[in-house]
């Protein structure tokens, strides 16, 4: 009984560790969307609608990435790789 509980607990811990952080993946996607749109703005005259969309994308990225502001680079690269898998 004790071995069964230990085994079950171990499986739960390992499965939790291997799941990708979907919130971090959303942060990465929001950053990519902002970067892509900003790059397009360099190639044309910016309209008020463009400025409003840029502001909204920036807000979305800021909200999606709020919990990752102090994360170190190694951890970010690890989570980014998990998002790509």
pTM > 0.85: no
Q: Please list, in sequence order, all residues whose beta carbon lies within 8 angstroms of the beta carbon of residue 23, skipping any fewer than 6 positions away.
A: 64, 67
Q: What is the pLDDT of residues 10-39, one digit of tens each?
A: 444 444 555 789 999 999 999 999 999 999
Residue 7 above 80 pLDDT? no
Closest CA to 58 of 37, 72, 84: 37
Domain spans in the chain, listed from the N-terminal domain onward: 22-84
Instruction: Determine the pLDDT at residue 17.
Output: 53
pLDDT > 90: percent of the chain: 72
């Amino acid at each position: 009984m004790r071995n069964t509980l230990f085994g079950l607990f171990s499986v739960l811990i390992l499965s939790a560790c291997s799941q990708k952080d979907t919130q971090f993946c959303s942060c990465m996607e929001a950053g990519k969307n902002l970067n892509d749109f900003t790059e397009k703005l360099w190639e044309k005259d910016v309209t008020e609608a463009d400025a409003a969309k840029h502001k909204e994308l920036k807000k979305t990225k800021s909200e999606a990435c709020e919990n990752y502001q102090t994360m170190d680079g190694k951890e970010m690269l690890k989570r980014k790789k998990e998002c790509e898998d």
